[in-house]
Each structure stands twice: as structure tokens, then as C-alpha cells.
Structure 1
Amino acid sequence: MRRAALALVAAMSLLAFPACGAATATPGARPAGGTSAPAATGPVNDADVMFLQMMIPHHRQGMEMADLARTRAVRGEVRTLATAVETTQGDEVRAMTAWLLGWGRPLTADAHAHEAHGGLHVTSPEEITTLRRMTGVEFERRFLNVMIAHQTNAIEMARTEVGAGLNAQVKSFAHRIDQSRSAQVRQMLGELN
């Protein structure tokens, strides 16, 4: 049963950005690492830009925590989930970066730009420092709890984008993030039980 659930989570993670590497990028929008990202064409509003600017650092934190879990988690299921998170979110960061650069927008917003909606939804640096000090079962339990909260923040941001965004491709991307992170949260809750 756990293997079937893990396979589902891995598949859902890939839903978040299935076309990475398969589509042609717009001129000048080739992300780092040589992976092509589909151009986000059509009208764009501030919500689209803010969503991407918030998601890039959020994803990078998730990747940092997943990297720790790949070597410190006890169970293979958790290590496999961490690998899927790290791979998927790396592809997504490259795509989001390409979209913002393609629109001529900065990759980050002004430090105060997020105040109107409760601040930047990231895991505290102190929490990541705590994770770095842990190993084994203690690490795994803390990682799962922190990552559940972290991915729940991603779901909330994605749902905000679906409601407030204008660009159809970015909204579709946000919808896929909602689906894949919701599946990951369910998997991680199962791993905690």
C-alpha cells in the first residue's frame, strides 16, 4: 500500500511541471542548466508576477530541506519523496525564472511587497538550522512536520494565484502545484502515522 501511495505522489509531483525539457523556450528565456521552459504567453498581471516571485524562494527552501532528507531520513519512502520534491521543484524554479525574465520582471519583489498578504510564506531560517542539526528518526519526524506546513503554504499561494492571476499558463501551473502538493501532504501525513 505504501509503495502505491509513493508512486502516486511521485506521479503527482511530476504533474506540477510535466513539459519541462520538452517545449521550446522563447528567445532569451532559457533557464539555467539548459532545460527549456515553455513560454508563458498572453496577458500578465501583478498577481502572476507576485506568485512567481514568492514561489521561487519558497521552492528553493523546499529543495534545501528535501536535500537534507535524501541523506538523513531513515525510511526509503521518505528519501524517495524528498528526491521527487527536489527534482520537481528544481524544474519549476527554472521555469518560473524563465517566465519572469521573459516578461522583463525581477526575480524578487521589494521586501515590503508581501506585507499586504501576510508576508512571504517561507519556513523560518531557524527551523532549517534545527533540521540541519538532526539525524535519524528525530530528523525524519521533524522534516515531515515542517514540510507539511511548507507545502501547505505552497497550496495556499497556488490557490490565490488561481483566483487572482490573469495569465492562463501561470494559473494552470498554480493549479498543478495545488494538486501535486496536496498529494504530497497526504503522503507525508500517512508517513507520520
Structure 2
Amino acid sequence: MTIRLTPRRALLTGAAVALLALAGCGGADHGSTGAGHGTATATASPSAGAVFNDADVAFAQHMIVHHRQAVEMAGLAPERAASAAVKKLAADIEAAQAPEISTMTGWLGTWGATVPEAGHDSGHETMPGMMSDADMTALAAAKGAAFDERFLTMMIAHHEGAITMAGEVAAKGSDPAAKALAATIVTDQQAEIAEMRALLAK
């Protein structure tokens, strides 16, 4: 199913055309900038006259939930991690993905689609890389080196799931901004996976 923005909706997002030119392979969910390893990147809102489809809507809805869990995991690190490198990585993940959540929420509003309710993320374990409630409870209970190892192992799997989801919208989606964000997610999270594997190997 392909949906074309009405002229009214297109006007709401017309200013994003310039932003779209800046979007590409760089650093999660913006209309603003996202932080990732010290590199600021921009992602666009749906462009004027853009065509979007069910794959774009599903990507935004699912990735919001996926990102929320990553942000929740990252939020545990300041009080529980032993490694300064793990704490910094967690801060980078949160700084990148929280703005991406805001961006995708805006897209869904523009498209007239439902935004997933915060706090109702359980039951989504079938999404690639999503952790179960038991996984999250175990992570929250860990501290020190045990937390670091569990966090890195879980976040690698979580990132791999996000990359899979991004590949789906790249193949099936229509909206240029959604595809640009998907490319950003793939690039950033592949780099973070490499970093996390290196930390685990130490």
C-alpha cells in the first residue's frame, strides 16, 4: 500500500527538503542533530510531496520501541558499569537514539499513524534483537564487570536487530527520509558493534 501526502501535510514538512540533502550515512530517530561518536548528523522529516508506504510506517513504529529499549539499557550504565569506555558508549547510544525517537514520532504524526505508547513495550520480543523482560531484569541487577559484559553482549544483539530492521525499510520503504535514517542506523550501529566487540575482547 502506497500513500501520498496531501498538499496540506506536504506543506507541514516542506522545510525538510533542505535537511534531506544532509541526511545520509552517519550517526538513531530528527529534524535536529543526532550525536554519535562525536559526529553530528542530520536526518530529515518526510519531504514535501513524499510518498510513504506501510513499510515506512512499520519501520518507524517498531524502531521507536526498539530504540526505547536501547535507551533504557544505556540509562543503567552510569550507576552500574565499571568501565569508563562502557559508560561513554552508553551515553553515545542514548544521545543518538533519543532524538531519533522524536523524529520518528513526528513522522507518524505527519502520516496520521499510531505512535506506540511508552511503557507498553513488552510483547515485542519477536522484533529482531529485542530483549525479554527477564533479560532486562538481569541487566538491571548486574553491577561492575558483570554488568559491562552483559550490557555489551546484549547491546550487540540489539544493534544487529536494528540493522536487520533498517535493511527491511531500505528494501521495501518509499519515504526518502526513512531510508536515510535507516542508512544512518546501519552505519552507526555497525561501528558501535565493532567497538563493543573490541571491549569484550579486552
Instruction: Judge same fold: TM > 0.5, yes or no.
Output: yes
Rounded Cα–Cα distance in structure 1 between residues aligned with 2:114 and 2:31: 24
Residues 3-56 of structure 1, C-alpha deviations (whole Å, 9 max, x = no match):
xxxxxxxxxx9625676159xxxxxxxxxxxxxx84212000000000111000
Quick check: 1:71–1:79 contact (8 Å CA) kept in 2? no
CA RMSD of aligned residues (A): 2.7
What residue in structure 2 maps to residue 88 of structure 1? 96
| CA distance 1:175–1:14, change in 2 (3 Å) | closer
| Larger relative strand fraction | 2
| CA distance 1:182–1:154, change in 2 (3 Å) | same
Quick check: 1:17–1:176 contact (8 Å CA) kept in 2? no
| In the alignment, structure 1 residue 165 sits paired with structure 2 residue 176 | no
| In the alignment, structure 1 residue 61 sits paired with structure 2 residue 74 | no
What residue in structure 2 maps to residue 150 of structure 1? 158
| CA distance 1:85–1:128, change in 2 (3 Å) | same
The SS at the match of 1:39 is: coil
Residues 60-107 of structure 1, C-alpha deviations (whole Å, 9 max, x = no match):
000000011122111111100100101111000000000101111101
| Identity %, equivalent residues | 35
Query: Any stretches of 5+ residues in structure 2 without a counterpart?
Result: 1-24, 35-42
Offset at residue 150 of structure 1 (A): 0.5
Offset at residue 126 of structure 1 (A): 0.9
TM-score, normalisation: structure 1: 0.77
1:4-43 superposed matches below 5 A? 15-16=27-28, 20=32, 38-41=44-47, 42-43=50-51
Quick check: 2:108–2:114 contact (8 Å CA) kept in 1? yes
Output the amino acid matched with 2:126: G
Rounded Cα–Cα distance in structure 1 between residues aligned with 2:115 and 2:32: 19
Query: Any stretches of 5+ residues in structure 1 without a counterpart?
Result: 1-12, 23-36
Q: Segments of 4+ in structure 1 off by > 4 A? A: 16-19
